[in-house]
Amino acid sequence: MADIEQNYQIKYSEKWGSYLQQEASRLDKYVTVETGLSGKMVAFDQYGLLSFTEKTSRMGSTTLDEAPTTRRVIHPHIFTKAIGFDEFDAKKLANIDVPVSKTIEAMRAAAGRCMDKVMLDAFLGTNYTGENGTVAVNFPSSQTIESDFAESGSAVECNLTLGKLRYALHMLQSCEAWSEERRAYGDELVLACTSSQINALLQQPEVSSFDYNNVRALAEGKLDSFMGFRIIRTEQLPVDSSGVRSCLAWVKSRAQFGIWDDFKVKLSVRDDLDEALQIRAKFACGATRLQEEGFVKILCAE
């Protein structure tokens, strides 16, 4: 007689699950967003700094200066994704539906991650200026805090520290990129880092002190703001072969994100593919630093 275990049946789920993932853009609320863009590039013109000259003579000649203007250019990055389902997939799946809504949901999540990547690549990478938008501007070393930075004592490779945060704030304030007046106007100070940097901060006594931080936030296991920075966790920041992560602090008004075509989804039946169902999504966007002094790269050894 056969053992009853040989007749055990497999019960399949009637719903589609999802892999763990970042499900939306985390940075779009902390940058300046311009929508409805068009053209092969878009220029953002800015007015520079003025200074007065002391008058030292009577009825002297007037000197005319050129207006100090600068330009930053954004080029669009176009992204598409198409997923197909055969006309008989629904019949063959039996008691589970064709995952149309789950596919659209996954596409939207992927678009959010992709937009964040476009922003981070632009903010950390090469930007463009000039009349035709062809003059390259690299991220300056003067706006970088090295991984072995120490306020005092010997320089030692380390993760994110309060010393690095304090110095980043100092750098942004010393060039007037950040001030309390800007906060009053609705500007914001942002820090993008990974869970490794947040964990490193939470281990520092000053962060857990009532005098320095919100104890309730720590009790809930999160750290979303500290020392004036709005802390945004993203695992998309680049790390080099030696384990040094490039984190980034910036002033919201200096970080420009542009959208040529917002995220859109179209469902269509492909007659050329035996009436397969096509789900196609697309969007186009770009980003740039408006001014290097509004950014600080913080290198962290993980």
Query: Does position 267 have pLDDT exceeding 70, yes or no?
Result: yes
Answer with the residue of higher pLDDT: 84 or 91: 84
CB-based contacts of 183, cutoff 8 Å, min separation 6: 189
Q: Which residue has the higher pLDDT, 120 or 16?
A: 120
Find residue 190's DSSP bridge partners.
230, 250
Indicate if the pLDDT at residue 184 is higher than 80.
yes
Q: Which of 57, 125, 87, 41 is nearest to 270 (CA)?
A: 87
Left, alpha or beta for 154 (phi > 0: left; psi -120 to 50: alpha)? beta
Query: Domains (ranges, CATH) in the chain?
Result: 140-256+289-301 (3.30.2320)
Q: What is the pLDDT of residue 5?
A: 65
Q: Could you tell me the pLDDT band of residue 220, with boundaries at 50, 70 and 90?
A: low
> What pLDDT, on a 0 to 100 scale, did the predictor assign at position 215?
45
Q: How confident is the model at residue 191 (pLDDT cuts 50, 70, 90)?
A: very high
pLDDT in tens, 147-162: 999 988 888 999 999 9
- pTM, full prediction: 0.86
H or E stretch at 174: helix 162-174
253/227 Cα distance (integer angstroms): 19
The mean per-residue pLDDT over the stretch 226-237 comes to 93
Percent of the chain with pLDDT over 70: 87
Element at 163 (helix H, strand E): helix 162-174
Residue 75's pLDDT band (cuts 50, 70, 90): very high
Residue 210 binned pLDDT confidence (cut-offs 50, 70, 90): low
| Whether residue 52 has pLDDT greater than 50 | yes
Burial class (CB in 10 A: 0-12, 13-18, 19+), 16: middle
Q: How confident is the prediction for the chain on average, in pLDDT?
A: 88
